[in-house]
């Protein structure tokens, strides 16, 4: 059973592994590493308030064990839009957790947070399963962003996916 919950202090090791994994840098800032101290302070500062912080980061839990992180970020209050990102431990991928977590987040986004739209950026280098997770959750490809990110020595296109509630 998959559930979502706010970040807790015991998520420090999980967050450290996910934030410092090179594959997480294909869309974001390449080479950005975080210390445990920085991440500990980040967790302590979380208020679980999308409007106040502009982001909402939650832990993905399977049967009581933290296995990943799901984010709403780049929140746009006037447009009622946010970007979404999912990061799972490598050992937890391709087992349905990402899709289940995204379903829960979409319910929360539309019903509790009253968002109008969610957006995801997916690298062309990403495994096809990533695209499938979003497509199975009613996201559709709306654009290709050419040479959007730089990873592994070259530029790569990114697909822009959108879901409107």
Number of domains in the chain: 1
Across the range 109-134, mean pLDDT stands at 91
The pLDDT assigned to 160 comes to 96
The pLDDT assigned to 126 comes to 74
The pLDDT assigned to 67 comes to 97
**Structural domain range at position 34:** 2-164
What digits encode the pLDDT tens for the residues 66-110? 999 999 999 999 999 999 999 999 899 999 999 999 999 999 999
CATH code assigned at 53: 3.40.630.30
The pLDDT assigned to 119 comes to 98
The pLDDT assigned to 33 comes to 80
Q: Which residue has the higher pLDDT, 144 or 126?
A: 144
What digits encode the pLDDT tens for the residues 17-76? 988 876 655 555 555 688 889 998 989 988 888 988 899 999 999 999 999 999 999 999
Check pLDDT > 90 for residue 9. yes
Reduce the secondary structure of the chain to three states and give it as a string: CEEEEECCHHHHHHHHHHHCCHHHHCCCCCCCCCCHHHHHHHHHHCCCCHHHHCCEEEEEEECCEEEEEEEEEEEECCCCEEEEEEEECHHHCCCCHHHHHHHHHHHHHHHHCCCCEEEEEEECCCCHHHHHHHHHCCCEEEEEEEEEEEECCEEEEEEEEEEEC
């Amino acid at each position: 059973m998959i559930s979502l919950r706010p970040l807790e202090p015991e998520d420090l090791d999980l967050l450290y592994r996910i934030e410092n994994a090179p594959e997480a840098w294909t869309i974001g800032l390449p080479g950005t590493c975080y210390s445990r101290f920085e991440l500990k302070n980040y967790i302590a500062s979380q208020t679980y308030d999308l409007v106040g912080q502009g982001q909402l980061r939650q832990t993905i839990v399977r049967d009581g064990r933290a296995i990943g992180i799901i984010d709403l970020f780049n929140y746009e209050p006037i447009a009622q839009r946010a970007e979404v990102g999912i990061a799972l431990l490598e050992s937890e991928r391709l087992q349905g957790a990402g899709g289940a977590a995204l379903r829960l987040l979409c319910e929360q986004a539309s019903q509790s947070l009253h968002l109008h739209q969610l957006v995801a950026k997916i690298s062309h280098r990403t495994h096809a399963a990533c695209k499938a997770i979003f497509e199975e959750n009613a996201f559709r490809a709306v654009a290709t962003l050419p040479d959007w990110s730089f990873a592994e020595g070259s530029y790569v296109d990114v697909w822009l996916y959108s879901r409107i509630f």
